Structure 1
Amino acid sequence: MAGNTGTPGATVTGRIMSILSGFDEHHPRLSLTEIARRADLPPATVHRLVAELVRHGALARADGDYVIGRRLWDLGLLAPIQSTLRETASPFLHDIHAATRATVHLAVRDGHQVLYVERMSGLASVPVVSSVGSTLPMHATGVGKVLLAHAPEDVRHRVLSSLTRVTPYTITQPGLLLKQLERVRHEGWATTVEEMSLGACSVAVPVRREDEVVAAIGIVAATIRRDRGRLTAVLQVAAQGIARQLGGIPPR
């Protein structure tokens, strides 16, 4: 038995990872009791380790509960793909923002979710639920659909087997979503229409490095019906520029 926990074979690192893994998009804030239950650890152990995590900024207090701390996000930005992406994409994202005045996103896949690495807010009052460092369902977002279309087969299978409805317009039929993903791979862009939040639509394209889709960039606006072609063209030009800077093959 490792440490002072009743879980045989558990290391301190393993217990900390169990605590942190209890947080997800459906559980962004947890009480001490909930953390212990989701981590399957004794409350006394969780109390001690959570206090350490708060002291080091990995967790933070929020009205009696706990949330992921800024320190974890800061460390995550040091990962080569994310730090390189943000630095490389930044001038292109500013160009998109200047040309469209819409909310602009840079996102990567994080397991079975989409992680927002950068966001530039638009001028229009369009409801946008994303924030830098947040994760959202891939099937309900434009950037998420792009990343899901190019994800490994096992990732697509898991996402398709657990489609949740966020708004009345969220695609929850696996067959319909599969057809959309095939179109994304063929046409090079994805759209959503009020699937993540009412009153917000999006269009997104992939960013490639060599033969791999490493990210997606997207625009959120009140409507994309009339401007979809123009917005897609702006995004694709930016994606090609980012791909060149990353040393990859630009998308066709």
Structure 2
Amino acid sequence: MTTSAAEALRDGVLRDDRAAVDKAISLLVAFGDQASTGIGVSELARRAQLSKSTAHRVLGMLERNGVVERAGTGYRLGARLHELGQAVYPRRHEALRDRLLPHLTDLYELTRQTVHLAMLHGPDVVFPAKLYGHHSVLAPSRIGGRLPAHCTGVGKVLLAYDAEAAAQAVAVPLRQLTGSTITTSDDLLAELARIREVGVSFDHGESWSGLSCVAAPVFGPGRRVVAALSVAGQTGRIDLDRANVEVRRVSAAASQVLAKAAA
């Protein structure tokens, strides 16, 4: 076999490998809301825009690797995929969540509003825990979910006290979620400077129209920011002045607990 033929064959295999990955991902995304209950091969193939035979072949490969599993005559997402999802976030996030959950509960008891515990993960903020208030409020946050850090109260307060993360955030285009989202690096850096001056961050409809919140940092050993707590509610109904006082108080108490534990 000539060198050019070998290179062509190798390139062909690589293209096939990439195609297979693309097909597998398309199928996994196609499960949608039926990821845990199961869905038939024909419907998965239709959603993923694959032939039924190709979908069946790729699903068989995914099943052998534990990424999907049988659910009657169809398939559902498997345990291996859940394990991979858990591995995305550092184990310290889980340990820190457990340490801070009592403080999140305290914040809820003081405000009776929706409260969040959040941590940074790259340019995004993730929500290991959330407690829902008595008043229903629409919000894009969910437990285990993530949002761009620059357009949330918790995300901005975390960026304000983490220079490296802030530099990474402004190095890429800022995604706009609402008409109030900060979209320029200069505006974001100015906002982060204001947050460091006052010690808390406000979100006035930047992640979701009609949602307001106030967030404060939680510091670990060496005064390094490790998490943020926030109180959120419907704009015009939430008392942000009261929420400001309570989130400062609880975050400070949480920071003291973490500092003592590390001493």
TM-score by length of 2: 0.68
In the alignment, the residues of structure 2 paired with residue 246 and residue 167 of structure 1 have an alpha-carbon distance, to the nearest angstrom, of 35
Asked whether the 8 Å contact 2:229–2:247 carries over to 1, the reply is: yes
List runs of 5+ in structure 1 lacking aligned partners. Answer: 24-28, 36-42
Deviations 1:97-146, CA, capped at 9 Å, x for gaps: 11111110001111110010100011112111111100101111100111
Residue equivalent to 1:194: 205
Flag the structure with larger Rg.
Answer: 2
Q: Kindly indicate which of the two structures has a greater share of residues assigned to helix.
A: 2
Q: Provide the secondary structure at the position in 2 that maps to 1:238.
A: helix
Distance 1:167 1:99 in 2: 30
5+ unaligned residues in a row in structure 2: which ranges?
A: 1-11, 30-34, 36-43, 49-54
Partner of 1:54: 68
Equivalent residue for 1:126?
A: 137
Whether the 8 Å CA contact 2:118–2:125 is kept in 1: the answer is yes
- Per the TM alignment, residue 193 of structure 1 is displaced from its structure 2 partner at its CA by 0.6
Alignment CA distance shift 1:177-1:133 (3 Å): same
% identical aligned pairs? 30
Change in CA separation of 1:114 and 1:166 when aligned onto 2, cut-off 3 Å: same
Deviations 1:63-88 (A, max 9, x none): xxx9x9544455668x5422322222
- State yes or no: 1:166 paired with 2:180: no
Counterpart of 2:234, as a letter, is A
Distance 1:161 1:80 in 2: 27
Match of 1:103 in 2: 114
Give 1:161 deviation, angstroms: 2.7
1:218 maps to 2:218:
no
Instruction: Verify: 1:147 aligned to 2:161, yes or no.
Output: no
Task: Tell me how far 1:194 sits from its aligned partner.
Answer: 0.8
Note if contact 1:202-1:224 (Cα within 8 Å) is conserved in structure 2.
Answer: no
| Cα-to-partner distance string for 1:181-238 (whole Å, 9 max, x where unaligned) | 1111222111111111111111101111022101111111113798333212211221
Give secondary structure in 2 for the equivalent of 1:234. Answer: helix
RMSD, aligned CA = 3.9
Q: 1:242 corresponds to which letter in structure 2? A: A
Give the residue type in structure 2 aligned to 1:239.
S
What residue in structure 1 maps to residue 259 of structure 2? 247
- 2:148 is matched with 137
Does the 8 A contact of 1:115 with 1:135 survive in 2?
yes
Distance (Å, rounded) in 1 between the aligned partners of 2:234 and 2:150: 19
Matched residues, number: 218
Rate the CA distance shift 1:224–1:87 in 2: closer, same or farther, 3 A.
Answer: farther
**Residue 149 of structure 1: how far off its partner (Å):** 1.7
